Amino acid sequence: DQQVKQNSPSLSVQEGRISILNCDYTNSMFDYFLWYKKYPAEGPTFLISISSIKDKNEDGRFTVFLNKSAKHLSLHIVPSQPGDSAVYFCAARQNSGGSNYKLTFGKGTLLTVNP
């Protein structure tokens, strides 16, 4: 059973426009969420995170929004650049409890930014 779901396998946007990547989760015990970016033949790299006590976190062109009641988060990239083309993974963990190290990942969304 997928506890973290990224329902869009791929997304294509024009350079300069906004990219919105979505993620849903089913485990209400998750209280910390992360986005990772992955280029081909490389490992995932950390992009941005958000704690469940916040509803928004911003870092430059990247903003993550969290809607706890809907168990939904989204990553906004504005403006999108061709170098942003990669697979984006949503991940979640439970900060409280004994397994606070364990990340649960979605399947990823392939973002293509067209020049």
Partner 1 sequence: GAGVSQSPRYKVAKRGQDVALRCDPISGHVSLFWYQQALGQGPEFLTYFQNEAQLDKSGLPSDRFFAERPEGSVSTLKIQRTQQEDSAVYLCASSVTGGLIFYEQYFGPGTRLTVT
Binding site for partner 1 (CB under 8 A): 4, 6, 34, 36, 41-46, 49, 89, 91, 93, 95, 99-108
Beta partners for residue 101, in sequence order: none
Q: Which is nearer to partner 1, 65 or 105 (CB)?
A: 105
Q: CA–CA separation, 26 vs 5, rounded Å?
A: 8
Task: CB nearer to partner 1: give 6 or 85.
Answer: 6
CB 17 to partner 1: min, Å: 26
Integer Cα distance of 114 and 59 in angstroms: 23
Write down the least CB distance from residue 11 to partner 1, Å: 16
Q: Which is nearer to partner 1, 17 or 102 (CB)?
A: 102
CB of 15 to partner 1, least distance (A): 27
Q: How far is CA 4 from CA 26, 36, 37, 107, in A?
A: 7, 14, 16, 8
